[in-house]
Amino acid sequence: MVQVEQHKIKAIGCVLNNKNRPLKERFRALFTLKNIGGPDSIQAIADCFEDDSALLKHELAYCLGQMQDKTAIPVLVRVLEDTKQEPMVRHEAAEALGAIGSPEVINTLEKYRTDPVIEVAETCEIALDRVKWMQRKDETLKDNNPFASVDPTPPATSKNVDDLKKIYLNEEQSLFERYRAMFALRNIQTEDSILALTEGLKCSSALFRHEVAFVLGQLQHPCSVPHLAENLRNNSENEMVRHECAEALGAIASDECRKILNDYLEDDKRVVKESCEIALDMCEYENSPEFQYANTLSEVQN
C-alpha cells in the first residue's frame, strides 16, 4: 500500500465521484486509488456505485478485487445482491469476491451460482472454485502470472499449446478448467498460443468470450486485432464482450486500433461507446512519454 495523505486520497475520490468530470479522468482517478489502497481508497470507490455508468461501476468492482483487501467484501456483496445493478457490474463484483478469496464469501457465492443472469451464475461458479483452491493451497495450481493481475483461476501446468487448446475450446469442460487453459495459453506468449486464444471469441458463453478479450488486451499482440475488431463490430454480440474487445484494442494501441475505436465512439450501446472513449485514452497513454496511466495523485499534489 502506498502511503498518501488522507486529504489527497479524498481529493482523488472527489475526481472519481464527480459526474461532471470526463470519464477518462475518473478512470485514471480510480486506478490511482487502486494503486494507493487502504480503507480511504476503498470508501471512495464504494461511494461511486450509485453512478449511472455501468462501465465505470464494472471497473470499480474490478479494482476492488485486484486490491485483495477484505475490507471491500461487504461492498462487493451488496453489489452482487442488488439485482437492479447491470449484469456486467454484478458479474464483476462476484469475480472480485473470488479474487479476494476469503472463505467468508462462500455462502454468498453458493447462493448466486444459480442466478437467473447466466453471466452472474457462471462467475459465481468460477469464483467459488478459486476460493476453494486458495483454501487448499494446492501447490500443483500455482498462480505463476507474468502480468501482475489477480486472475479468476490459476493457469494450467501444461505448456503444450495443442493440449491446452483442446481443453480451452471444450465446452463440456468446467469453466474453471477452461479458464486455467486460457491463462496458461496467455502465459506462453507465442503467436501460436495467442491465435489459439482468439478462437475462444467464438465460444457460446458471453462470460468466456469477455475473458478472452481481456486476456488478449493483456498480451497486446497485433495478430489479435482482426478477431477483436470482428466481435466489436458485431451489433448482436453481448455488450459486455464488445466493451472488453474495445478496451483490448485500446491496450494494443496501434493506428489500426485507433481507427476502429473511433468508428464506435457513437455506438448505440452506452457501455460500448464509453469503452471506446476510455480505450482511445489508453491509446494516447501507450503512445506517449507518460510514466503511468494512473496519474491523478500528481494532479492533486498541491
**Binding-site residue set for Fe cation:** 58-59, 91-92, 210-211, 243-244
Whether residue 214 contacts residue 248, with contact meaning beta carbons closer than 8 Å, is answered with yes
| Cα-based distances in Å from 136 to 101, 103, 124, 233 | 12, 11, 18, 42
* Binding site, annotated residues: 58-59, 91-92, 210-211, 243-244
Q: How far apart are CA 235 and CA 153, in angstroms?
A: 30
Burial per residue of 57-69, b for 16 or more beta-carbon CB atoms within 10 angstroms, e otherwise: bbbbbbbbbbbeb
Q: Which residue has the cell 457460446?
A: 204
In the block, residue with C-alpha cell 457513437: 266
Residues 6+ apart with CB under 8 A from 89: 49, 54, 57, 58, 61, 79
